[in-house]
Structure 1
Amino acid sequence: MTVKYKINELFETIQGEGAFTGQPSIFIRLQGCPVACSWCDTKHTWAINLEDEVTPNAMLTKEAESQTWSALTVKDILAMITAEGYQAKHIVITGGEPAMVDLLPLCQALETHGFSCQLETSGTFELQVSAKCWVTVSPKVNMKGGYKILNSAMLRANEIKHPVATEQHIDDLKALLAEHNIVNTQVYLQPISQKERATALAIKSCIENNWRLSVQVHKYLGIE
């Protein structure tokens, strides 16, 4: 059976977060997420409604955020990237929560065609990706959806990118790292907003703990 992925967006831009900040990237944004983060900036990707399915062209050319999506095979995705003339060789698979589905066929096909893959996930689902795929776990603690962060996801992470606005978020992260015995994985703190207080807390905590700062460069630049 051919796997079809529910794609909300597919576009080329600059990665603005984490270890690949500044990297030209093609974003594949999947529809669907039950985690329900209160500060999520892509809430339009949460629900999967059959009436929201649109054609691939309508998905690709929409001019505003919406919960519409298109079902694409791996072959469809590769053809769309080629047809659009995208030059980036780094693919970011995001959402929504992309780890809800088996991403191994997608990763393997992309890597066969010369792309590198990066997964952005909350760490609440078992990861089905290639061995080469760079995994960014952005752990969501005590969210409304009630999902637990999996030890397997934390141990697979190449980087941990933690949203932060309050001291409680710092305490949550430290407890999470201790619980899963995470020692050498690079940790990035990402202010939940561009507000001065959240950014100052992130900077202070990075210095105290030898973590790194991720400031969502794309938002400061005004790009997607």
Structure 2
Amino acid sequence: MRLLKKDLLKETFKVVEIFRTVEGEGRWVGLPVVFIRLEGCNLRCSWCDTTYSYDGKSYTVKTLKDILQEINSYKLKRVCITGGEPFLTPNLDILVKSLLEENYYVFIETNGTLWNENFKDIITDNLYITCSPKPPLYFVNKELLPYIKELKFVVDENLSINHIIKPEFVNIIKNDIIVLQPESNKPEMVEKALNLQDQLLQIGIESRIIPQCHKVLGLP
């Protein structure tokens, strides 16, 4: 671990769990990764499969030093920060900056509704932000938009093509970074994802259908 300011090492975070797995969603799928699940979420999606991440009791307060030591023990180079909603953690930027300084590739999964101004100073090629806009509004904070490297839509009964091709998503869509993820790997949602993929192709937009592969593999 590189030397960090002692006061930073004492920063605390509400951590639900830290574990080693393979990335099961999006463009990092299949790669070995350490997950940091932070506590709290500002949304309540009906199909959420990690409700324990915001029940207010399933977390442990850990210092930055404790987190870095645990992450280092896995000897991997990729870290995914998820939730809940990680941007609810006010000092998220300190955790991310510290991981980047330790030469990790950092992946943040966010619903896109929140932003932290301090991130403007730490955006690098080693920081990958994937945004999964959520129903009913599929709102994404305008300050976050320029830093999104992947759009991931959960294909449920709510999602339509109009939610995907919203004007504010156009620049991201041009980079061909759209993932369609069938809700809970349900067969009917796989069929809907295929239909949405065809609709997008008709207007010149490609997308990738990627299920939750960790569930297929029986992993957390």
Calculate the TM-score normalised by the size of structure 2.
0.83
Change (3 A) 1:27 1:95: same
- How many residues align structurally? 199
Q: State the Cα distance separating 1:172 from its structure 2 match.
A: 4.7
Q: Equivalent residue for 1:5?
A: 13
Aligned-residue CA RMSD (Å): 2.0
Q: State the Cα distance separating 1:73 from its structure 2 match.
A: 2.0
Q: Deviations over 1:170-200 (max 9, x none)?
A: 235235x324443424110101122211011
Quick one: distance in 2 between partners of 1:88 and 1:213?
27
Q: Equivalent residue for 1:87?
A: 75
Q: State the Cα distance separating 1:110 from its structure 2 match.
A: 1.0
Is the aligned partner of 1:192 residue 2:159? no
The alignment partner of 2:94 has SS state of helix
Structure 1: where are the runs of 5+ without partners? 53-67
Q: Could you tell me which amino acid in structure 2 is paired with residue 221 of structure 1?
A: L
Say if 2:161 and 2:196, in contact at 8 Å, map to a contact too: no
Say if 1:162 and 1:173, in contact at 8 Å, map to a contact too: no
Calculate the TM-score normalised by the size of structure 1.
0.81
Q: Equivalent residue for 2:106?
A: 117
Q: How does 1:36-55 map to 2 (within 5 A)?
A: 36-48=44-56, 52=57
Quick one: distance in 2 between partners of 1:88 and 1:216?
22
Q: Could you tell me which amino acid in structure 2 is paired with residue 216 of structure 1?
A: Q
The more displaced of 124-133 and 23-32 is 124-133
The more displaced of 179-188 and 88-97 is 179-188
Say if 2:100 and 2:106, in contact at 8 Å, map to a contact too: yes
Q: Equivalent residue for 2:66?
A: 76
Q: Equivalent residue for 2:4?
A: none
Q: Could you tell me which amino acid in structure 1 is paired with residue 163 of structure 2?
A: L
Q: State the Cα distance separating 1:153 from its structure 2 match.
A: 2.2
Q: Could you tell me which amino acid in structure 2 is paired with residue 196 of structure 1?
A: P
Structure 2: where are the runs of 5+ without partners? 1-6, 201-205
Q: Equivalent residue for 2:88?
A: 100
Q: How does 1:143-154 map to 2 (within 5 A)?
A: 148-154=139-145
Q: Deviations over 1:38-71 (max 9, x none)?
A: 11110111132xxx3xxxxxxxxxxxxxxx2111
